Structure 1
């Protein structure tokens, strides 16, 4: 018999896990994701979006800023599929591989005779059969390190295996759950969305207090609805017997045994049982969920203000006021809370030119800021925008039931920061893509790498954001509109080839368009980068065509905030600086050269 009561055992287990969390450190993706179901879109398209807001190497043991294509393959009987360790599975200190694995391979599973081709980066994104995936990291009460033969799966490899083997979202959910229960799960809590042309499912995952297997629950997103998540579990009540919900076989038994939940507590609330909620500081997660929901359904009058992490004020899904099209879907990650109480383009922190990005500090770190009894009130935390300066890449994938799989699936991939990126189309039937999108590292500047092509523009724009963003938006709109038109033309050509029985020719067409359009976008953005450098160099605004130079200075409010009214405009600087309450007016006056300071002061 166990010498300790269940509740005492849970307290010890919780203490152990808490200590491990504080001692562990690694890079984690702090992502925003959404799903727009066919009934919520203008033309019946399924949209799935993901921002990969992480820093560091991923399961590929490379920097998480490039795309990898895994081709379809046949495998001999008895073959094994290696499962790789993911260094982004722990806490937030960049560069630490963490975990107890003695090598990158944690274990293996039986291989299947045939695996599908798919695109992946930090996480699987889209396969050749229009199965889509998106991910965000969540804070869970229990987060364990990897252990060979005991806990070998993290969400990245779960998404990859699902895309290798599955055609539908439900198949992906069922396979993911089975892999977790059979081979064990390690690392942070995670939310994965799997979507096909017809339906979308959310699966949320965390470690089990038993040290083996894992806890998970999945819920179908109702058609006609939009789902949003951002680093906090979104599934709430687990409903037994509901066909729209699946969960681990031992979910209730394990959580009851370890004191996480009791039937006397009432309904099983997945968020409350397995997590403390917010990921880094208050509103870190919930503000992003609110923002996208509010932008799509303002008629709901959702408030950004909530009582705490466990609020039920933000629904699991919402129906948009207007059906979503591709242009709207591509815009959802371009958000600094403009026009709201949290607008990052305004105020002294944005500087004189509305820079929405903030230098990260200790208060912004993804270290544990709350537990069952306490919450850390940090000084200096900044609002966490949807478009984050530390974004590696983002994408909006579409699956379309009215087109053959190689044509219907399109991954609109955007390197670096979402607000200033250009989404390039990658077809599900394409077997290659522009080389710029497959290379690059944050530690080595490469002007031809897609990441650095876009990151350089964002960083330069921060010098005079309010002006440069207009140039960026103009070119961004032009390029994406051109890509949308190119895709629509290619859709028809490729679908016609497939209808005539020539899928090989269709795939060549889709590959050529994918590669060529990627190359074109990179070239156009490199040209824009040069234009912006010339136009905004040295604090001036220079017309590259005419050579005309403007010296715009600063806005009046900034002169006031910066104390400019006490600048060197009179010779009696000591008297000027000693004058209290002098406001900047922007007005010049003429005075006699021999005027006294008192006479000048009356005029200014």
Structure 2
């Protein structure tokens, strides 16, 4: 593998869990959307729409004027677009009415040798459009890979990305390489994978079409450009990816920590290029453990930025949860449930370590009003800014106030988990409009529980912080 020019401003961390690796038979895909410290997100539900004629998608990104024709029928789907479409939609993550989930993207790099043979296409598809032109038009995770793969082969892409797909049965991870090539691997049902801004997929079995998919002509592309001999198959990570010093400090430690957390019996090092893509957990994985990983920052190691290590140790590796996280999500598809109640879009606005994952039923037809407000500057009516506000207050006096935050986070995890269980029972016999209405009301209640608690916490933190000013002195109260 070759080196790349490192860009620290586009980064995410992802996790994928097969149905037999999870405690309740769910498939789960999750990701931290990391870009800017103050860049608000919305949470919306696009309705099922049937147009009279095919539609045209045109990107609003002036640097990458991608466009394509879309089908006449657009399924309902959840999404988290940006506060402004000026640089693109960036809908990022969602679950559609057919029970298919998608998260895009995990930014990565392709090495110069491959790019020389197949350069990026500046008016091709990029992260900002992928969910919008894919998720509303697919009926399975496998179909999602196929559709996006066809788009990339036809239109090209201007960047390297990883894309997560799931339905109730299968979980797929797809990676793009160069301008027109891609591969995808099904995560084994009994396995999980964590990914951190590097091409991760290893050996591709070109004869196993049940578990691998890939671009047409990829074998000839590799051979014709002397990228690899293919005598031992195709290792996508080695042929298309990167491996340099920045990877060892920015990327591989996050994978190491995830595998250390879920599979503590493995002996691995944070600065290793040999960490496996597919891994098996030591026990069944629960939804809160997936959330814990996405909210983590090397707790229990010297590398925790707010831990007890030396200053050098605390700043050695890029943490999983960090100030530039816009939102963190886990898309859970639960087995043996009707499609309307199967999908739970867990969403933590802002920095996951200082936020709360709120469960939203994808079968609803609207989102709470506070989640539809997203502005460039602080707005106390915006869910994004409400959660972000708490994080900023805690950061100002982290060690003094973090305990207050943890208490509220634990209380909310209990309250929201109970709310989900109760709602599941209440809607079990409902169908049609009655079910949709009840799920929409349940989502509003979940939002109210979380937002009210965080607003109350913010008030307490402000009150406590008033006596933490550097302009302070032990005054004589009798004077």
Same fold (TM over 0.5): yes
The answer (yes or no) to whether the contact 1:73–1:117 under 8 Å persists in 2 is no
The answer (yes or no) to whether the contact 1:124–1:156 under 8 Å persists in 2 is no
* Secondary structure, counterpart of 2:359 in structure 1: strand
2:28 matches 1:52: no
What CA distance in whole angstroms lies between the structure 2 residues aligned with 1:239 and 1:72? 38
Q: CA deviation at 1:331?
A: 1.3
1:494-551 alpha-carbon deviations (Å, 9 max, x no partner): 23112xxxx11000000111123213311221110110111232327xxxxxxxx998
1:41-85 alpha-carbon deviations (Å, 9 max, x no partner): 11111121110001299xxxxx552223221111224x2231425
Q: 1:550 to 1:163 in 2, by over 3 A?
A: farther
Return 5+ residue gaps in structure 2 as ranges.
Answer: 82-89, 475-479
Residue in structure 2 matched with residue 431 of structure 1 by the alignment: 365
TM-score normalised to structure 1 length: 0.70
Q: CA deviation at 1:282?
A: 2.3
Q: CA deviation at 1:276?
A: 1.5
Q: CA deviation at 1:259?
A: 3.9
Residue in structure 2 matched with residue 118 of structure 1 by the alignment: 78
Q: CA deviation at 1:235?
A: 0.5
The answer (yes or no) to whether the contact 1:33–1:49 under 8 Å persists in 2 is yes
**Residue in structure 2 matching 1:161, options 102, 108, 133:** 133
Residue in structure 2 matched with residue 195 of structure 1 by the alignment: 166
Q: CA deviation at 1:345?
A: 2.0
Q: 1:413 to 1:383 in 2, by over 3 A?
A: same
**Residue in structure 1 matching 2:298, options 317, 337, 342:** 337
Instruction: Please show how residues 303-322 of structure 1 align to structure 2 within 5 Å.
Output: 303-306=269-272, 311-312=273-274, 314-322=275-283
Residue in structure 2 matched with residue 275 of structure 1 by the alignment: 241
What CA distance in whole angstroms lies between the structure 2 residues aligned with 1:292 and 1:246? 26
**Residue in structure 2 matching 1:173, options 145, 149, 152:** 145
Higher strand share: 2
The answer (yes or no) to whether the contact 2:98–2:139 under 8 Å persists in 1 is yes
Residue in structure 1 matched with residue 429 of structure 2 by the alignment: 496
2:227 matches 1:260: yes
Q: CA deviation at 1:183?
A: 2.1
Instruction: Please show how residues 575-590 of structure 1 align to structure 2 within 5 Å.
Output: none
Q: 1:410 to 1:350 in 2, by over 3 A?
A: farther
1:339-383 alpha-carbon deviations (Å, 9 max, x no partner): 1232222358769xx9x7xxxxxxxxxxxxxxxxxxxxxxxx742
Q: CA deviation at 1:116?
A: 3.4
1:450-503 alpha-carbon deviations (Å, 9 max, x no partner): 2221222212212321231111111111112111111111112223112xxxx1
Instruction: Please show how residues 72-471 of structure 1 align to structure 2 within 5 Å.
Output: 72-77=48-53, 79-85=54-60, 98-99=63-64, 101=65, 106-121=66-81, 122=90, 123-134=92-103, 135-141=105-111, 142=115, 147-148=122-123, 151=124, 153-187=125-159, 189-208=160-179, 214-243=180-209, 244-263=211-230, 266-277=232-243, 280-306=246-272, 311-312=273-274, 314-346=275-307, 382-441=316-375, 443-471=376-404
What CA distance in whole angstroms lies between the structure 1 residues aligned with 2:156 and 2:247? 29
1:92-139 alpha-carbon deviations (Å, 9 max, x no partner): xxxxx644x3xxxx2222424343333243313221222112231001
The answer (yes or no) to whether the contact 1:128–1:409 under 8 Å persists in 2 is no
Residue in structure 2 matched with residue 572 of structure 1 by the alignment: none
Residue in structure 1 matched with residue 434 of structure 2 by the alignment: 505
What CA distance in whole angstroms lies between the structure 2 residues aligned with 1:276 and 1:318? 21
Question: Larger relative contact order (C-alpha < 8 A, sep ≥ 6)?
Answer: 2
Residue in structure 2 matched with residue 42 of structure 1 by the alignment: 23
Q: 1:263 to 1:348 in 2, by over 3 A?
A: closer
1:272-309 alpha-carbon deviations (Å, 9 max, x no partner): 22222469452311111111111011012333242xxx
User: How many residue pairs end up in the alignment?
Assistant: 456
* Secondary structure, counterpart of 1:538 in structure 2: coil
Q: 1:230 to 1:278 in 2, by over 3 A?
A: farther
Q: 1:497 to 1:233 in 2, by over 3 A?
A: same
The answer (yes or no) to whether the contact 1:46–1:196 under 8 Å persists in 2 is yes
* Secondary structure, counterpart of 1:518 in structure 2: helix
* Secondary structure, counterpart of 1:337 in structure 2: coil
Q: Tell which structure's C-alpha radius of gyration is larger.
A: 1
* Secondary structure, counterpart of 1:218 in structure 2: strand
What CA distance in whole angstroms lies between the structure 1 residues aligned with 2:246 and 2:372? 31
* Secondary structure, counterpart of 1:411 in structure 2: strand
Deviates more, 1:119-128 or 1:227-236: 119-128
1:400-450 alpha-carbon deviations (Å, 9 max, x no partner): 121111111011100110101111111111111122222223x41112212
* Secondary structure, counterpart of 2:445 in structure 1: helix
What CA distance in whole angstroms lies between the structure 2 residues aligned with 1:203 and 1:218? 4
TM-score normalised to structure 2 length: 0.87
Cα RMSD between the aligned structures?
A: 2.9
The answer (yes or no) to whether the contact 1:45–1:400 under 8 Å persists in 2 is yes
What CA distance in whole angstroms lies between the structure 2 residues aligned with 1:198 and 1:70? 24
**Residue in structure 2 matching 1:479, options 405, 412, 415:** 412
* Secondary structure, counterpart of 1:492 in structure 2: helix
